Amino acid sequence: MASGAGGQSWPTNQGFDEYRVGILETTDGTLYPESMRRTGLPESVIEATQPQIWESDEDGTLKPVRVYDLDYRRQVEGDIAMPRAPFIASHAKDDEPFFLYVGWSHVHYPSGASEEFMGRSAAGAYGDMLMEHDHRVGEVLNAIDAAGIRDNTLVVYLSDNGPVTHEGKDDDYLGSSAGPFRGEVGGVLEGRLGARDGPLAQQDPRPQKQRDGRHS
């Protein structure tokens, strides 16, 4: 994910060498064309606001490569994972360390699991999406293993938004808890957002004594 389509905020202007299968706006935007048509807005306006998938060219300039609509919503998670394996394999051979940031789209609203995962979860549409996300994260971890660098790679998994307390099967949400914090995503209380409200997991190959913040 990235903040806006302005050049200053492009990942390639913030230290990244390349950007692949990027979403520069909220995934909610995949719903906008449908709702705009219902209100009678002209197609020219709808087309101008249609979310896109972005990628960088050789000089780091970001360009739209395809429309990000509800149909592609169901495919995008696999496409986000796909180029990571060759990237990892290529850079694993270098003497210098590398940094890879993977901006997943799941499990953001609206739900959209690929055909491979549709109907596989007892938790409905949201569960299908979560199952696919777990699988795609596993593909990246498997690529690290295949490259032979698991024992020399730090993996950090982080989620940003707080929970949604609404519960219901076959919905875009599955109720969860903000723990000791009040509220949920979209509200004004402390449980609404922030990394503290989402999961944080690490795969750290370093000995425990080197993880106390005094070693690098």
Phi, psi of 2 (to 5 degrees): -145, 165
Write down the domain spans for the chain: 1-69, 74-159+199-216
In the chain, % of residues over pLDDT 70: 81
Its pTM surpasses 0.85: no
**pLDDT digits 0-9 by tens, 102-120:** 999 988 888 889 999 999 9
pLDDT band at 166 (very low <50, low <70, confident <90, very high): low
Question: Poorest-confidence range of 1-15, 20-34, 54-68, 140-154?
Answer: 1-15
Radius of gyration of the chain (CA): 19
Nearest 5°: the CA angle 41, 43, 45 is: 70
* Residue whose tokens read 């190959």: 205
Distance CA 176, CA 166 (A): 8
pLDDT surpassing 90 at residue 212: no
